[in-house]
Amino acid sequence: MKIATWNVNSIRTRKDQVWQWLQTNEIDILCLQETKVIDKDFPRSGFEELGYNIYIYGQKAYNGVAIFSKTPLDAVHFGFSDILNTEPSQNFDEQKRVLTGIINGIAIVNLYVPNGSSIDSDKYNYKLNWLNHLKDYLKLLLTQTEKICICGDFNIALEDIDIHNPKGRENHIMASDAERQALQSILELGFKDGFRKFTPEGGHFSWWDYRQASFRRNTGWRIDTHYLTLPLHEVASSSIIDKTPRTWEQPSDHTPVILTVEMP
């Protein structure tokens, strides 16, 4: 089973590229982030013709997540509060960033983690609080299944080798200590990076800034990936970053990451 994640930076602008990519890659489950569209305007039709069941959780202009699945999902949970009933300090579901699908006893958690803007901003604190809430959500999910794949745009480069140039990273959004610790604390629930099972060295990135010819110079960051509980990590057989869509005209600033797991 191939599970892909792709921050498309607007599904309406990128729909032809996503369609083209799905034509040439046999993807069972595609998790999209930053769809940037309300549900009634989501461009479903071409993808349904490819045989996908479409699950969407969007809002106007910002954020938005979606899951395409060749096999219908057994259950879908929209946002944190759909299953996490504890009262959060703030309503984290105002921003549409979490969509979970259950298939064959596996929970696929599609995430668009807040960017955080800069480390001295209110958005940075929101990001840290959001990650803390995500940890509670995953703790609950772990009581329901031992097979969880969390994937998406984490907006955090966990290690220095995930950044083209880690100099000054302590004060940089996506690489500060508090963000890394918040994510590390989540991973300590029992998750391992699928991509790192096969590729231990640095220099592999999933996002390149639109400015400064970053893609041509390969000055990127690896912030999109899959984190797997051990029963899934053990059966993962490959993970690759497909840079091809980033070479196309008018691309997303992110490129897709594919994880393959061998199902019994």
Partner DNA sequence: ATGGCCGTAACCTACGGA
Under the rule (CB under 7 A), what is the footprint of DNA? 7, 9-10, 12-13, 34, 36-37, 60-63, 114-115, 117-118, 123, 153, 155, 173-174, 207, 209-212, 221, 223, 250, 253-254
Query: Does residue 112 carry a catalytic annotation?
Result: yes
Q: Walk across the sheet containing 65-69 and list its strands.
A: 53-57, 65-69, 29-33, 2-7, 257-261, 236-241
Tell whether 160 is in a known binding site: no
Query: Does residue 254 carry a catalytic annotation?
Result: yes
Q: Reduce the secondary structure of 233-244 to three states and give it as a string.
A: HCCEEEEEECCH
Query: In this complex, which beta carbon is closest to DNA, that of residue 34 or of residue 193?
Result: 34
- Across the strands, what pairs with 102? 75, 107
Q: Where are the alpha helices (DSSP H) in the chain?
A: 11-24, 45-49, 122-142, 177-187, 194-198, 214-217, 230-233, 244-247
Query: In this complex, which beta carbon is closest to DNA, that of residue 12 or of residue 139?
Result: 12
How many Å separate Cα 14 from the centre of its chain? 17
Residue matched to tokens 């890659």: 25
Please report how close the Cβ of residue 102 comes to DNA at its closest, in angstroms: 26
Tell whether 162 is in a known binding site: no
Please report how close the Cβ of residue 39 comes to DNA at its closest, in angstroms: 12
Tell whether 254 is in a known binding site: yes
CB 180 within 8 A of CB 166: no
Tell whether 188 is in a known binding site: no
Please report how close the Cβ of residue 186 comes to DNA at its closest, in angstroms: 18
Query: In this complex, which beta carbon is closest to DNA, that of residue 118 or of residue 145?
Result: 118
Query: In this complex, which beta carbon is closest to DNA, that of residue 54 or of residue 235?
Result: 54
Asked whether the CA dihedral 235, 148, 158, 18 is positive or negative, the reply is: positive
Check 153, 162, 193, 224 and give the catalytic one: 153
Tell whether 153 is in a known binding site: yes
Q: Burial of 219 by CB count in 10 Å (0-12 exposed, 13-18 middle, 19+ buried)?
A: middle
Check 52, 55, 57, 112 and give the catalytic one: 112
Binding-site annotation, residues: 7, 34, 153, 155, 253-254
Binding-site annotation, residues for Mg(2+): 7, 34, 153, 155, 253-254
Residues with active-site annotation: 112, 153, 254
